[in-house]
Structure 1
């Protein structure tokens, strides 16, 4: 991800179909987004990636190494108007990057329990459900469980 990607990624992130599944659900302004990016891009434990399909940007991936030994969290989303199958391809590319380029041992993900697409996505990518954080997320009106996933490099279905 570069400065040139900021406005497009922000547009995707602020789209109602993406934002409703995020922990931070307010519309993010450009200045807030720029501050986040300036901080995140200087953090060597973060991998900020724009996924392209046929040389067109169609998704964002954030991999954050959180512990020694190659343990990382990830977050991602596709452009709201991305064609069917883009999410699967983004996932495969992200796993390939995480395990083969970044050399990670484990990738962890979370999904708010009402985000059935993300839950199904993680399972289809080979992740195992590792737990449920009960009533972990408060959306301002009610609490929601958070589903935790993990995928070890040795279990990844993605090969080079």
Structure 2
């Protein structure tokens, strides 16, 4: 289930984002400080072109979905899961699939987007494979530098009419 993040979620968002598994597949890989995170939330929570959602599974916070650069017909997204907690419970794959289903439905049905975009690191082959399963198309890779690392970042996009709908192929 997805719900809008509130001030009460700020610390759990930071804790999940700082899990090593999430940092390893993020453009910015440093540990986010409380001050840096508070500054981000202060802006994000009032930004009309952004939605921050909490993904819950069986009543437990299990991930975060960020929609940003929303302009009415297009927008970008990213997400991260509670990698540690889901792995411990043996729920990573079903949670990941559920989050992607719910997030893409939210983008197209709730936000009314025609196109959803994002980015994935080239070395993150597991996420790239899942993105293809959900019919995201990869664009031309680009080189970026962040946190002292050279990264190859691949843009992804999904058009509303191309999305995978549960129960259909």
For the criterion TM > 0.5, the same-fold answer is yes
Match of 1:94 among 103, 114, 125: 103
Structure in which a larger fraction of residues adopt strand: 1
Unaligned runs of 5+ residues in structure 1 are none
Q: Which residue of 1 aligns with 2:68?
A: 64
Which structure exhibits the higher relative contact order, with contacts defined as CA atoms closer than 8 Å and separated by 6 or more residues? 2
> How many pairs are equivalent?
157
Q: Deviations over 1:109-145 (max 9, x none)?
A: 1111111122112111111112222x2345524x232
Computed over aligned residues only, the root mean square deviation of the Cα atoms, in angstroms, reads 1.7
Q: Deviations over 1:13-49 (max 9, x none)?
A: 1111111111111111112111101101111000100
Q: Which residue of 2 aligns with 1:27?
A: 31
TM-score using structure 2 length:
0.86
Unaligned runs of 5+ residues in structure 2 are none
TM-score using structure 1 length:
0.90
Structure 1 segments of 4 or more deviating over 6 A? none
Matched, 1:154 2:168: no
Output the CA distance in 1 between the equivalents of 2:119 and 2:52. 18
